[in-house]
Every structure is written in C-alpha cells, then in structure tokens.
Amino acid sequence: MSDPKNPFEFFMAQAQDMAKAMNPSLETFTPKGFETLWPVMPKDWMEMAFGKAFNKEGLDAKTRLFLTLAGLTMHGAQAESQLRLTVRHLLEVGATKQEIAEAIAQMSMFAGIPAMTRAAALAKEVMDAPEDDET
C-alpha cells in the first residue's frame, strides 16, 4: 500500500470527508466547542442531585466525582469531554488540583501509565485554563 496513512488516520479522514459532504459546517466542529454547551453545575445543585439528598449517609458529590474521574481514567481517558467536565465539576465542589492529580496518579496502578498520562494531560488543560474559560 503506497498510502502513508495508518488505518486510524485513514478512517478519520474518511469520516471528516463524509461529515463535510453531509454538512459543510461540520468541517470546523470541535468536541471542545460542544463542551461549552454543558455549564458547570453549582456545588449546591450537585450535592442535591448527586450527593446526600436522597441518602444522608451516602457519598457526597465530591467523592462521587472522584469515582467518576477514576472510572474515566480506567477506560484510558478516551472520553475526553467527559473527563474535562468531571475535572471542572470537581474544582466547583472544592477539590484541589493536588487531590485531582493524586486521584489520576493512583489510577496508574490499575489503568496503566498511558491512561494516567492522558487523563493528567486533559485535567491539566482544565486546571490551567483561565477562570472565565470553561473549555
């Protein structure tokens, strides 16, 4: 085969060509742009919806979000938008950058170094973003 693209690059190029043919505006689509449609929920709302509202002795929202972060990391940090959104929500409920970094690092023992590295890079994007920039 004389085409220098690997199978993944070939597949992505085909998908992009198909998307452009169906809707030319999809040529400039970016998942990060899609993320802006989902604002960060206020801490109190998260606590009501995902925390101890229905189970007073249960996990708080921060712990639930750390579990979500661990699960997303375990899957190889493939769900980029979901991981970035989870980090934004963790910051909203009071998690520190150090706690987030430690939770991701802990997953290296279970998910492997590549998954941990990818999750850390995505989390760093969020933590390094200016306060008014949620992407």
Compute the C-alpha angle 78/81/83, nearest 5°: 70
Q: In terms of pTM, does the model score above 0.75?
A: no
DSSP helix/strand/coil, 84: helix
Question: In b/e form, how buried is each residue of 40-62, taking b as 16+ CB within 10 angstroms?
Answer: ebebeebbeebbeeeeeeeeebb
Contacts of 120 (CB under 8 A, 6+ apart): 101, 104, 105
Where does 36-128 sit in CATH, by number?
A: 1.20.1290.10
pLDDT value at residue 134: 46
Nearest to 125 by CA among 88, 73, 75, 72: 88
In tens digits, the chain (135 residues) has pLDDT values of 455 667 767 777 777 787 778 777 766 766 666 666 666 777 777 677 766 666 777 788 899 999 999 999 999 888 888 999 999 999 999 999 999 999 999 999 989 999 999 999 999 999 998 875 544
Give pLDDT, residue 102.
96
CA distance from start to end of the chain: 39
pLDDT score for 135: 43
Instruction: Delimit the domains of the chain by residue range.
Output: 1-30, 36-128
pLDDT of residue 5: 63
